[in-house]
């Protein structure tokens, strides 16, 4: 797939999209978006713009959740972004993204379509530019990424609530008909997906904290106010993620508990049945012995007495079980 490059400049105080070739990137571009590139192509383009991309193929193959650092007044952010077709239930395919900020420019380098960057790219043309347009674009991408995270958490919370109602509001009879193992198999991947969502949000948290606290990020008062607002939103999303994760964990624990109760009930019934039939079995074993001197063999009603004693020996344990309430637990 051929590399795609889109440039954004500020003209008459507003953002404007310009199509650029690899060898003709405008010097006044405040945002350059690069897609479907090779490592060599990306590094060459970044060098043209006065920045650096110190990432080789071995690093690209790592399962990177995120990395944020500032070195020599250049901000570098590496993270994984969910593709738009992903859902919470199944972990979507991820695109690796690098964002470089420095020299008054923002460079986004990504391996495919990502919701936050794509939505920002659609919104920027014609938008009024601020004092630091490259930082303005960065903050908008971060804001859209948080919206994607919140949407995933909202979907997760709805799924947890649906499964909780199915498990906890069901009657004993209907709950007995639930396939608990299938429910647990469904919840397991969701827990793994939740871990990925939390990792992605931690990258956003580190980025916002860096923008807010690092003195090397020169921000205008307007931009700093926007960063402060993002910091508050990050905390809200973090708290929401913690609540959803706790609910999901409790639901998994409850499902495992019900599976244990069901297994214990099965084992209890096997124990009750064994207890009931143990005395008759013992009597049958005694009277089934092949000894010559067994007084019972000469009794006229020995057979009927033996059957009666076996029946009685089975009935008494069953009465005890019902009297103690063990059969109904």
Q: Do the bridges between strand 14-19 and strand 94-102 make them parallel or antiparallel, or are there none, so unpaired? A: unpaired
pLDDT the model gives residue 177: 66
**Host H or E run for residue 96:** strand 94-102
Instruction: Look at residue 85 and tell me if it is in a domain.
Output: yes
Q: What is the average pLDDT across 207-222?
A: 80
81 with 227, same domain: the answer is yes
Least confident of 150-154, 172-176, 177-181, 292-296: 172-176
Q: Which of 238, 261, 284 is the last residue of a domain?
A: 261
Contact in structure between 6 and 17 (CB atoms under 8 Å) = yes
Q: What confidence score (pLDDT) does residue 224 get?
A: 84
Is a pLDDT exceeding 90 seen at residue 225? no
Give strand pairing partners of 221: none
Q: Give the distance, in angstroms, between the CA of residue 240 and the centroid of all CA atoms in the same chain.
A: 13
pLDDT of 93 strictly over 90: no
Looking at residue 64, what is its pLDDT?
Answer: 52
pLDDT tens digit sequence for 37-73: 777 888 888 888 888 887 655 445 444 567 888 887 8
- Residues 97, 110: contact at Cβ < 8 Å? yes
Mean pLDDT of 284-292: 79
CATH code for position 134: 3.30.460.20
Residue 19's DSSP bridge partners are 6
Q: Name which of 238, 159, 158 is nearest 205 in CA terms.
A: 238
Domain limit, last residue, from 212, 238, 261:
261
Tell me what the mean pLDDT of segment 282-291 comes to.
Answer: 80
Supply 92's token pair.
Answer: 């979507």
Of the residues 239, 261, 283, the one at which a domain ends: 261
Could you tell me if 194 and 277 lie in one domain? no
Shared-domain flag, residues 142 and 229: yes
Domain enclosing residue 65, as ranges: 4-261
Q: H-helix or E-strand containing 323?
A: helix 302-324
| 317/194 same-domain check | no
Give the total number of structural domains in the chain: 2
Tokens linked to 139: 């903050």
Helix axes 221-287, 133-168, angle to 10 degrees: 20
Q: Count other C-beta atoms under 10 Å from residue 219's C-beta.
A: 18
> Residue 275: what are its φ and ψ, rounded to 5°?
-65, -40
Asked if residue 131 and residue 59 are part of one domain, the reply reads: yes
Across the range 14-34, mean pLDDT stands at 85
Report which of 211, 61, 230 is spatially closest to residue 134, judged by C-alpha positions.
211
Per-residue model confidence (pLDDT) at position 58:
42
Buried b (16+ CB within 10 A) or exposed e, 70-91: beeebbbbbbbbbeeebebeeb
Q: pTM here?
A: 0.73
Structure confidence by residue, pLDDT tens digits, 180-205: 778 888 888 888 888 888 888 888 88
Average pLDDT over residues 311-321: 79
Q: How confident is the model at residue 254 (pLDDT cuts 50, 70, 90)?
A: confident
């Amino acid at each position: 797939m051929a590399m795609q490059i889109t440039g954004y400049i500020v003209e008459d105080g507003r953002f404007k999209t310009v199509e650029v070739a690899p060898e003709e990137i405008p010097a006044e571009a405040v945002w350059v978006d690069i897609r479907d590139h090779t490592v060599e192509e990306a590094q060459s383009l970044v060098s043209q713009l006065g920045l650096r991309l110190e990432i080789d193929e071995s690093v690209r193959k790592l399962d990177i959740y995120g990395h944020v650092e500032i070195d020599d007044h250049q901000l570098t952010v590496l993270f994984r972004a969910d593709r738009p077709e992903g859902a919470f239930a199944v972990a979507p395919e991820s695109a690796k993204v690098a964002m470089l900020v420095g020299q008054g420019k923002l460079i986004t380098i990504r391996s495919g379509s990502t919701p936050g960057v794509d939505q920002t790219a659609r919104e920027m043309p014609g938008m009024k530019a601020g004092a630091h347009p490259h930082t303005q674009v960065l903050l908008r991408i971060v804001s859209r990424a948080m919206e994607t995270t919140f949407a995933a958490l909202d979907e997760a919370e709805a799924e947890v609530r649906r499964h909780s109602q199915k498990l906890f509001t069901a009657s004993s009879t209907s709950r007995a008909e639930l396939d608990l193992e299938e429910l647990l198999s469904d919840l397991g991947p969701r827990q793994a997906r939740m871990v990925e969502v939390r990792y992605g949000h931690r990258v956003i948290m580190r980025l916002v904290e860096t923008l807010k606290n690092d003195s090397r990020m020169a921000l205008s008062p307007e931009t700093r106010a926007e960063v402060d607002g993002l910091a508050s939103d990050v905390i809200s999303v973090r708290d929401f993620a913690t609540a959803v994760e706790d609910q999901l964990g409790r639901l998994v624990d409850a499902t495992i508990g019900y599976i244990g109760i069901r297994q214990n009930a099965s084992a209890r019934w096997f124990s009750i049945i064994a207890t009931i039939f143990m005395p008759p079995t013992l009597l049958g074993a005694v009277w089934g012995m092949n000894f010559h001197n067994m007084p019972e063999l000469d009794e006229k009603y020995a057979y009927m007495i033996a059957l009666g004693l076996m029946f009685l020996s089975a009935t008494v344990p069953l009465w005890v079980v019902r009297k103690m309430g063990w059969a109904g637990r």
